[in-house]
Amino acid sequence: MKAGLLVLAAVKALQPPRTAPRLSTPLHAAPAPVYVAGACLTGIAWKPIVTRAMDDWYDNAANDFRRPAWAPPRRWFPPIWRLNYFLIGWAASRKAAVGGLPSIAWVHYALNMCWAPLFFHYRKLKAAFVLNVGLVATLVVALPSFAEAGAALLLAPYLGWLAFATALSLQIARLNPAGVLLKPSNGAWRAACDSKGVVSWYDSGVRL
C-alpha cells in the first residue's frame, strides 16, 4: 500500500506543473478617441514633406520619374491613410485596454513614421522598399496579440494596403534604378547662375 502511494506521488511529481489559463485582464487605458487622435495626428506629421515631394517629382510630369500604370492617383492617398490611421488608433485602444500594447506594435509604428521621410524626403527608393517589407513583417507578428483583444480584423485593411504599397514600392524602385533625378525649374536655374556670376541663357530670351 505504501509502495503504491509512493509510486503515485513520484508520478505526480514528474508531471509538468499545470498553469492557470492566461486571462486577458482589463487595464485602465486611455479612451479610444485619445488613441485615434494620436494615430491620426502623428500620421499627418510628414504631410508637408509628402506634399512637396508630390509637387516636385512624384506627380510632376516635367521629371522623368516613372510609376507603374496601376499606381493609384494622388488623390487616393489622403483618404486611404486617414482610414488606416483611424483603424490603427481604434485597434490600439482595444489592445491597450486588454493586456497593454506589445513591444512589436511600438516597433512597427516607429518604422511607419520613418517611411514617408525616407521615400519622399531622402528619395531612397530601394531602402523604402526594404522598410515596407519590415512593416509587413512586424505587423504580421503583432496581429496575434491584437487578436486576443478582438482587434485583429480592424488592422486587416491596413495590412492589405501595406502589401499593395510594398509591391508598388518594389516596382517604383525597378522603374527608377538611378533614383529620383530632379530637374530644376527655370527660376531655380537662373538663381543658381546669378549667384555664381554666370550669365544664363534665360537673359538672352531662351526659355527651357
Average pLDDT over residues 169-185: 88
Query: How many Å apart are CA 135 and CA 167, to the nearest integer?
Result: 13
Sequence ranges of the domains in the chain:
29-180
Query: How many Å apart are CA 57 and CA 28, to the nearest integer?
Result: 46
Other CB atoms within a 10 A radius of the CB of residue 166 amount to: 19
All three cell numbers of 89 = 488608433
Supply the pLDDT for residue 197.
66
pLDDT per residue as tens digits for the range 130-156: 999 999 999 999 999 999 999 999 999
pLDDT at 208 over 60: no
Helix/strand/coil percentages in the chain, nearest 5: 65, 0, 30
Choice between 197 and 157, residue whose per-residue pLDDT is larger = 157
pLDDT per residue as tens digits for the range 61-75: 888 899 999 999 999
pLDDT per residue as tens digits for the range 180-194: 988 665 555 455 556
Average pLDDT over residues 101-106: 96
Other CB atoms within a 10 A radius of the CB of residue 192 amount to: 12
pTM given for the model? 0.75
Maximum distance among all alpha carbons in the chain? Answer: 115
Supply the pLDDT for residue 7.
36
pLDDT per residue as tens digits for the range 192-205: 556 666 655 555 55
Q: With respect to CATH, is domain 29-180 assigned 3.40.309.10? A: no
Determine what percent of the chain is predicted with pLDDT higher than 90.
67
Specify the DSSP class assigned to residue 121: I
Supply the pLDDT for residue 16.
39
